[in-house]
Structure 1
Amino acid sequence: MRSPTRRSRLLKQVLAATTFFSLVYFSLNNLLPAIRYNVVPHRHPVLHDNAQSEASLGTTVSSPTVHLVIASTKADDTSWTSRLRIPNLTILRYISDDPSAPFHPPKPKGREALMCKPAHPSPKPQTQEANPNHSKPDFTYLHDFYDSLPDLTLFIHASETPWHVEGTLLRNTSFALSQLNLHQVLQQRPYFNLRVTWRAGCPAWIDTTKTHADYDEAEEPFMAEAWRANFGADEPVPEKLGGPCCSQFAVTREAIRRRPREQYRFSRDWIVDSTWSDAILGRVWEHMWPRLFTDEASDCGHAERGSLCQMYGVCFESEGELDGYKELWEERERLKERMSFLRAVWDAKKAAGAKGRFGEVNDEIERQLSVAWRRGHA
C-alpha cells in the first residue's frame, strides 16, 4: 500500500504532466496561431512606389519651396519624413516637451496651435530632417518665419498613421503628402485642410450660441469668446461653423500674409496666457483656421470626391464608387480587430478566417485605389 507521501508525490507529478501537456496543446492550437494572425501586413498599393507626375510633385523649373512643420514630443518617431519625395523641402520639427530643442513652443499649450520659436530663422532647404530635435507648427512659426516664409507651409502631426488621414489616402501621412498637388494648393486652394472628409463636420459642426449648460461639443461654449478675442471684439461671430477636422493643413505665403505679423504674435500670446485647458485651446483653433487664412467662417465649399481628385490625384468615377471603397476600408478595420492577439487566442479558427478575408479586402482596396490613382494621372 502506497504511503500518503508517495501518493501525494504521484498526484503532483500527474498534475504537472497534465498542466505541461495542456500548455503545449494550448500553445499549438491557440497561442502560436494567435501570434501569427496578429501580424497584420501594412501594405501600400503599387502606386505608392510610383514616381509622381511632375505636376503633382512640382518638379518643374519653378518648384515651390516648402516648409513641413511638425508638432511633436521627444518620444515621437518622425523618421518617416525622410522618405518624403517633395522638392525644396525643409523640415521643421517642433518639440513641445524639450525647451532645449531648436524649435519648441514657449509653453506646451494649445496642441498644434502653438508654434515654436526657431533658433535659426532661415534654415536651408533640404529633403531630410536637419535636426532630430525640432518641434511643430503654429503661431510661433507663423510669427517668427513671417518675413522668410516659403511658397507653401504644411502643418502636420508627428504620427505617420493618424486616424484622421482617410482610408482613401491609406491612413498614411507620407502617402498623402507625396500625392499632394502643390501647384493646385498654390493656384486654387491657398488654405487647404489635408483632410477632405466632412462626416459630421459640414455644413454645420459647431454652434457658437451654445452655453456651458447646453452643448454637444466640448469647445462650443468657448467658441464665441475665442473668436472675438482673436479677431476683434466687434467681429461678428458666425452662429454655425463647419469643416473637416484635425488641424493638418497647407497654406501659402500669400494667405499667411493676409494678416499682419502682429496677429500671429497676439494669438500666440493669447494661447500662452489662457487658463483654458490644452484640449479646449486646440479644439477652438481647429475651427478658426479658415477664418484666419481665408476670411471664411467655414470650410465646406469643396466636396470630398472633388478634393481627392483635384488635390491628391485620386479620382473615383462616382460617389457610389467612392462609397464602395469606404465600405471596404471599414471592413478592413473590423477585420484587424478580429485578428487582435486576445481574440485570436480565444478563437484561432475565427482569426484564421479573418486573416484570409483581410487579404482579399486588401487586394481589392489596392486594385480600386490604383485605378483611381491612374485615372487622376492619366
Structure 2
Amino acid sequence: MSKKSVKLSVLAAIFISLVYLATDRVWPAIKYHAFPRPRPALLHELQHPSPTQNNLTVNLVVASTAEDDISWTDKLYSRIPNLTVLRYVSDSQTSGLHPPVAKGREALMYFTYLHDFYDHLPDISIFVHAEETPWHLEGTLLQNTSFALSQLDLMRVVVERRGYFNLRVTWRAACPAWIDTRKTFENWEKQEEPYMPQAWAANFDDPVPDILAGPCCSQFVVSRTAIQRRPREQYERSMKWLVETSWSDQIVGRVWEHMWPWLFKSEAKDCAPERESLCRMYSVCFEDDRQLEAYKELWEERERLKEKVSFLRASWAPRTATEARKKMDEVGDEIERQLSRAWEDGRASKAEAGSLR
C-alpha cells in the first residue's frame, strides 16, 4: 500500500471516529441541554397573589453587588400588591442606595435600610440576597426566592406576636442548639462561636445567651411593629459597629446570622417545626413528617442525578447519562406531584379554617 493510501486510510478512520463521537455522544448531550423535555410550569401554576395581602405595603430590600442581576424581582410586582423593590449595592457609592462602606456583607446594607427608613417603614419589610435560586432555600420552596415570596402569607407576619419570620425553615442540626457562646478560640466547633460574646456586647446591652439556634442564612421578613420595637439608635449602633470593626466580612456575616431573632423578637432560639412553618407561612402542607422527609429525599436525589447529566459526563458516558435523565424525569414528575398535593392541601386547609382576618 502506498504512503498516499495509508494517509487516506488514517484520515478516513479519524473522520469516521469524529462522526461517531459527534452523533453518538456529543449531539445527544447538546440536544438534551439545548432542548430539554418540556415540563409543567409548576413554578407559575402555584404562585399567586393572595387577596388577603392587598392592603399591606411591602418593601423588598435586596442586598447586592453591582454585577448582580436582580431582574427576577420584576415578576414579583404582579404577585405581591403594593411592593417596592429597594436594591442596595455594596460596592458602588454612586448607587442610589448603598451602605456607608463596602463591608459587612448583607448586614450593613440591612442596617442602613433599618436606620434610614425607620420613620417611613411599610407594613412589611423583606430582606433577601440578590440571587433568585440560592442554595439556602429549600426544595420544598423549589429553591427559588420568587416562588417563596409569592407563597408567603404576609398577613401572618403582621398578626403573629413577634412579627419576624426566617425565610428558611429547615434547621436540622441547627436546633435546639447550634452556637455555644461559651466556646473559646481554643475549643470552638463553629468558626464564629468565639466571636459571639464580643459581637453581642457590641450590639446589645442584654446578657449573652449561652445557646443560639435557628435556621441560617440572613433572609427574613419582619413587620414594622417588630422593627420599631427597638429604637432607631439600636440600628445606628449596629451600623457603627459594622463600619468600625476590623473583623472579616465572613465573620461579621456569620455572627449576625445568629442575632437577627434576638434583634427583632428577643429570642435566642428560632426553632419552629419545619413542617408547621411551611404550612402556616407558605401554605405548603405535608400530611406528616414522613411525607415531608420523603419529598426532601426526592429533591436530593434529583440534585445528585443532575451531576450525571452534565454536558461533559453525558458526552463521555452517554448511556449512563440517558439512564440518569430518564430517572431524573421520573423523580421530577413525582416532585411536582407531591408538591402540588401539598400546595392544594394548604389551600384547602386555609379555606376550611377561614381567614385569620
- TM superposition score normalised by structure 2: 0.92
Q: Provide the residue aligned with 2:69 in structure 1.
A: 77
Alignment RMSD, CA only? 1.8
Query: Are residue 251 (structure 1) and residue 246 (structure 2) matched?
Result: no
Match of 1:23 among 4, 14, 18: 18
Counterparts in 2 of 1:166 and 1:42: CA distance versus 1, 3 Å: farther
Match of 2:57 among 65, 71, 84: 65
Query: Are residue 186 (structure 1) and residue 158 (structure 2) matched?
Result: yes
Structure 1 counterpart SS, 2:86: strand
Q: Provide the residue aligned with 1:52 in structure 2.
A: 48
CA displacement at 1:247 relative to structure 2? 0.4
Q: Provide the residue aligned with 2:132 in structure 1.
A: 160
For residues 226 and 44 of structure 1, the distance between their equivalents in structure 2, rounded to whole angstroms, comes to 47
Question: Do the aligned residues in 2 keep the contact of 1:153 with 1:250 (CA within 8 Å)?
Answer: yes
Q: Provide the residue aligned with 2:346 in structure 1.
A: 376
Structure 2 counterpart SS, 1:293: helix
Query: Are residue 271 (structure 1) and residue 242 (structure 2) matched?
Result: yes
- Where do 1:140-219 residues align within 5 Å? 140-188=112-160, 189-219=162-192
Question: Do the aligned residues in 2 keep the contact of 1:67 with 1:150 (CA within 8 Å)?
Answer: yes
Query: Are residue 104 (structure 1) and residue 98 (structure 2) matched?
Result: yes
One-letter amino acid of the counterpart of residue 177, structure 1: L
Structure 1 gap segments, 5+ residues each: 116-137
Deviation sequence 1:267-320 (CA, Å, 0-9, x none)? 1111111111101100100000011011111211x1000000000000001111
For residues 82 and 303 of structure 1, the distance between their equivalents in structure 2, rounded to whole angstroms, comes to 32
Question: Do the aligned residues in 1 keep the contact of 2:58 with 2:122 (CA within 8 Å)?
Answer: yes
Q: Provide the residue aligned with 1:313 in structure 2.
A: 283
Question: Do the aligned residues in 1 keep the contact of 2:49 with 2:80 (CA within 8 Å)?
Answer: no
Deviation sequence 1:81-125 (CA, Å, 0-9, x none)? 11111001000001112111101111221211011xxxxxxxxxx
Question: Do the aligned residues in 1 keep the contact of 2:135 with 2:143 (CA within 8 Å)?
Answer: yes
For residues 143 and 279 of structure 2, the distance between their equivalents in structure 1, rounded to whole angstroms, comes to 17
- Tell me the number of residue pairs that the alignment of Structure 1 and Structure 2 aligns: 344
Structure 1 counterpart SS, 2:335: helix
Q: Provide the residue aligned with 2:328 in structure 1.
A: 358
Q: Provide the residue aligned with 1:231 in structure 2.
A: 204
For residues 44 and 69 of structure 1, the distance between their equivalents in structure 2, rounded to whole angstroms, comes to 31
One-letter amino acid of the counterpart of residue 199, structure 2: A
CA displacement at 1:35 relative to structure 2? 2.3
Question: Do the aligned residues in 2 keep the contact of 1:47 with 1:373 (CA within 8 Å)?
Answer: no
CA displacement at 1:341 relative to structure 2? 1.4
Q: Provide the residue aligned with 2:82 in structure 1.
A: 88
Counterparts in 2 of 1:248 and 1:346: CA distance versus 1, 3 Å: same
CA displacement at 1:68 relative to structure 2? 0.1
Question: Do the aligned residues in 2 keep the contact of 1:45 with 1:370 (CA within 8 Å)?
Answer: no
Question: Do the aligned residues in 2 keep the contact of 1:209 with 1:239 (CA within 8 Å)?
Answer: yes
Question: Do the aligned residues in 1 keep the contact of 2:262 with 2:268 (CA within 8 Å)?
Answer: yes
CA displacement at 1:45 relative to structure 2? 5.2
Q: Provide the residue aligned with 2:107 in structure 1.
A: 113
Query: Are residue 342 (structure 1) and residue 327 (structure 2) matched?
Result: no
For residues 367 and 297 of structure 1, the distance between their equivalents in structure 2, rounded to whole angstroms, comes to 37
Match of 1:292 among 238, 251, 263: 263
Decide which structure has greater helix share.
2
Structure 1 counterpart SS, 2:216: coil
For residues 359 and 64 of structure 1, the distance between their equivalents in structure 2, rounded to whole angstroms, comes to 40
Structure 2 counterpart SS, 1:264: helix
CA displacement at 1:41 relative to structure 2? 6.3
Structure 2 counterpart SS, 1:204: coil
CA displacement at 1:34 relative to structure 2? 2.0
Q: Provide the residue aligned with 1:125 in structure 2.
A: none
Counterparts in 2 of 1:51 and 1:342: CA distance versus 1, 3 Å: closer
Question: Do the aligned residues in 2 keep the contact of 1:208 with 1:237 (CA within 8 Å)?
Answer: yes
Structure 2 gap segments, 5+ residues each: 349-357
Counterparts in 2 of 1:26 and 1:174: CA distance versus 1, 3 Å: same
Structure 1 counterpart SS, 2:128: strand
Identity %: 60
- Where do 1:3-14 residues align within 5 Å? 7=3, 10-14=5-9
- TM superposition score normalised by structure 1: 0.87
CA displacement at 1:47 relative to structure 2? 6.5
Deviation sequence 1:160-187 (CA, Å, 0-9, x none)? 1111110001111100000000101111
One-letter amino acid of the counterpart of residue 231, structure 2: P
One-letter amino acid of the counterpart of residue 49, structure 1: E
CA displacement at 1:17 relative to structure 2? 2.8
Deviation sequence 1:244-269 (CA, Å, 0-9, x none)? 00000000111111111111111111
Deviation sequence 1:41-66 (CA, Å, 0-9, x none)? 695654733563645x513xxx1100
Structure 2 counterpart SS, 1:104: coil
